[in-house]
Amino acid sequence: MKPSGRRLKLFRNPPKTFFEEDEPAEAPVKGPLLPQPLFYALLALFGVSLMLAVDWFGLLLLNSQGVYAQIGSLNTLRVTGALMAGIAIPSILLMFHYDRVYSYTSEENVFFGVTFSLSFMLGLPCALVGIFA
């Protein structure tokens, strides 16, 4: 018995593997969004803000009663909001920079996106209470 032509057409080529695609998944490279000195300045600002925020949360963890007694709870919220803004603003700009250079799935873009989300969700309520209280 002769096999049908349809079956031969389906199995002419070996099946594709899971990682094999017709088109690449990466977005086309458009070039850097930020000039190099501004890029390095944002990286430095992000690093300094992150270091200060970690120190601030360590101070609050170890001696929260002393911080509240010294500067008050409203100023504590203002400092927390300012430190979180110092992380959120450079991270959103760096996220857009890496989105333009690589793609939305690059490791750097995901890192700065998550960092922006966390700092924004923590810093916005602190900043709003610090401003309107």
**How do residues 16-40 score in pLDDT, each as one tens digit?**
666 666 655 555 556 677 788 998 9
**How do residues 66-107 score in pLDDT, each as one tens digit?**
999 999 989 998 999 999 999 999 998 888 877 766 666 678
**How do residues 113-133 score in pLDDT, each as one tens digit?**
888 888 888 888 888 887 787
Rg over alpha carbons for the chain, rounded to the nearest Å, is 25
Q: How far is it, in rounded angstroms, from Cα 27 to Cα 6?
A: 36
The H or E element that residue 108 is part of is: helix 107-132
Q: How far is it, in rounded angstroms, from Cα 121 to Cα 60?
A: 18
Q: How far is it, in rounded angstroms, from Cα 64 to Cα 81?
A: 16
pLDDT for 94? 85
One-letter amino acid for residue 115 of the chain = T
Say yes or no to pLDDT of 14 above 90. Answer: no
**3-state SS string for 26-67:** CCCCCCCCCCHHHHHHHHHHHHHHHHHHHHHHHHHHHHHHHH
- Enter the pTM of the model: 0.68
The domain ranges of the chain are 34-132
Calculate mean pLDDT across residues 48-74: 93
Tokens found for residue 125:
């309520």
Say yes or no to pLDDT of 3 above 60. Answer: no
Residue 29 gets the label, from left (phi > 0), alpha (psi -120 to 50) or beta, of beta
